[in-house]
Amino acid sequence: MAEKIVAQETATKSSNSDHDTIEAAMDPPSNYTLKLDLRLIPLLGCTYTILFLDRTNIANARIEGLEKGLNMPPHGYNTCIWIFFIPFVLIEIPSNMIMGLPHVKPCIFLGINMLVLGIISTCQGLTASYEGLLALRFLMGIFEATLPAGAAFLISEYYTRKEASLRFACFFTFGILGPCISGLLAYGLRNMNGIAGKEGWRWIFIIEGLLTIFISFFVFFFVPHFPEKSDILTPAEKAHLLQKLKADKGDQKLDLRSVNWFKVLSDYKIWFPVLMFFCCDMTAASMSAFIPTILTELGWKAAYAQVMSIPIWLTGIVFQVTASWISGRTNIRFPFILFGIAFAMVGWIIQVVYSDRKGLAPGIRYFSLFAMSGGTFIQMAMSTAWMTNNLRGRASAAVGTAMVLGLGNCANFVAANVFVKKEAPFYPTGFRTGLGITIAGAAVCMTFVGILWRHNVKLEKKRREVGGGVDDQKEYRYQI
């Protein structure tokens, strides 16, 4: 009942005007934004860490003897990677639609999926056959799909457009921690080789799966509901939050029933960021699956290669958070995405030159991985924030975050099949494909900017002709 009263009071407030002016006038009861940050970002970020941890540990297990241990066929490793993404891509949109239903609690929905994911992930270390591993990878894709999309959906509902960029950067930063932790754990877990009669690569799966189960219990108890039903704020703080969100995003439709789903699914403000995410995720997917292998091919032993992968991912964190902080201050997005694309291209070009001349120094090739990491993770956080900034309504947010993290991850299908084992260590097909897709990302970004700019120009012209006008759910300025 109290929630309905708060929502009704919020709905009677004045309509949109300048975001900063309204927020200053509302006199927040406390610095509850920090309270939200501490409650939302670390825990939901852990769900994204788990995604990358479970996605990249197979690369770590590979150099510890996975293929030999399960007597895998020549293309078996590539199949293990892409089979995971078949259900992953298909499940994310319906998953967010389910999570947005009135009687579904995000903590229960995400917690159950994470618990089951942990059990399946642990079983990877217990399987006795290659076929068993394929089945487990497919099941993992089903339950893992719910986590990043659901987490990003929930985050998008709690923050204004100006606040969202840095929060998404922090969220994706937890994702980058996955391969960092995976490399560090793999370095330690490889020493468990022989314990309980199990190879070291099995312990990588078992321990990291048990970690997923452990974190799932925190999700059950601490992930909050959507803002209008949240119990982590005082009544005054919640009223202020709902009013602030209304001032920034308008009077959003929260009910997912009676939605024109065709209009939502065909929205170009979703599809362009999805394409940009796909193009940058080609780099991330290639790095996640093949960095440990590439490092061993540079002449480093497996144990040393595991550790030397960590600074590469940490570089992505630094670039991502720094760029998103500046973007939040300036309230623009596309220049940072273009910078990320250009920096990632430097890395790909170095790899292509290596595949042609086969004579580059290992240090130069190692540097290219830093360029690829810094460039691609800037794009991931920024394109997701850019998309949510230009959407209105919970249905659009649910579908948009699911599509960008679901269909955007289809790049993993490409990465899994263009890095052909017989082309190692030069991978000419993989490196040329990666460079081409990265260049395509630049073209998509510039086209999107042009469309948004044209919309804003036409809107301003219309408002001058009719004498005024304010942003609402149907007619508003797009963020560039």
Given a cut of 70, whether residue 305 has pLDDT beyond it is yes
Q: From residue 444, give the alpha-carbon distance in Å to each of 272, 447, 448.
A: 7, 5, 6
pLDDT in tens, 131-140: 999 999 999 9
Record the pTM: 0.82
Taking the alpha carbons of 231, 104, 250, 266 in that order, is the dihedral positive or negative?
A: positive
61, 53 contact by CB (below 8 A) = no
pLDDT of 18: 41
Task: Find the domain containing 118 and state its range.
Answer: 38-226+267-464
pLDDT of 274: 96
Amino acid at 51: L
Given a cut of 60, whether residue 380 has pLDDT beyond it is yes
Amino acid at 270: I
Spacing of C-alpha 123 from chain mean position: 25
Given a cut of 60, whether residue 11 has pLDDT beyond it is no
Q: Assess whether the previous peptide bond of 42 is cis (omega < 30° from 0).
A: no
Alpha-carbon gap, residue 19 to 247, rounded angstroms? 7
pLDDT of 14: 35
Amino acid at 302: A
pLDDT in tens, 156-207: 999 988 898 899 999 988 877 876 777 777 777 778 888 888 888 899 899 9
pLDDT of 15: 34
Answer with the residue of higher pLDDT: 79 or 449.
449
Give the DSSP letter of residue 478.
Answer: P
| Domains identified in the chain, total number | 1
DSSP string, 281-335: HHHHHHHHHHHHHHHHHTT--HHHHHHHTHHHHHHHHHHHHHHHHHHHHHT--HH
pLDDT of 3: 41
Rounded to 5 degrees, φ, ψ at 245 are: -65, -40
Given a cut of 70, whether residue 12 has pLDDT beyond it is no
Q: Which CATH number does the domain housing residue 377 bear? A: 1.20.1250.20
Which residue has tokens 């490793």? 77
Quick check: is 234 in a domain? no
Quick check: is 433 in a domain? yes
Q: Which of 356, 377, 150, 349 is nearest to 285 (CA)?
A: 377
- Dihedral, CA atoms, 420, 426, 429, 430, nearest 10 degrees? 80
Residue 399, both tokens: 């579908």
Residue 239, both tokens: 């009223």
> pLDDT band at 289, cuts 50/70/90?
low
Quick check: is 68 in a domain? yes
Answer with the residue of higher pLDDT: 54 or 199.
199
- Proportion of the chain above pLDDT 90, given as a percent: 46
Cα angle 351, 352, 356 (rounded to 5 degrees) comes to 115
Quick check: is 22 in a domain? no
Taking the alpha carbons of 328, 277, 436, 176 in that order, is the dihedral positive or negative?
A: positive
Quick check: is 77 in a domain? yes
pLDDT in tens, 391-421: 988 889 999 999 998 888 888 888 878 888 7
Tell me whether residue 410 is exposed, middle or buried, using C-beta atoms within 10 angstroms of its C-beta: 0 to 12, 13 to 18, 19 or more.
buried
Tell me whether residue 289 is exposed, middle or buried, using C-beta atoms within 10 angstroms of its C-beta: 0 to 12, 13 to 18, 19 or more.
buried
Q: Which of 312, 314, 344 is nearest to 411 (CA)?
A: 344
Quick check: is 13 in a domain? no
pLDDT of 28: 67
What average pLDDT is seen over the chain?
Answer: 85
pLDDT of 26: 52
Quick check: is 29 in a domain? no
Answer with the residue of higher pLDDT: 154 or 357.
154
pLDDT of 27: 61
Given a cut of 90, whether residue 10 has pLDDT beyond it is no
Given a cut of 80, whether residue 68 has pLDDT beyond it is yes
pLDDT of 341: 97
Residue 452, both tokens: 């948004």
Quick check: is 255 in a domain? no
pLDDT of 140: 93
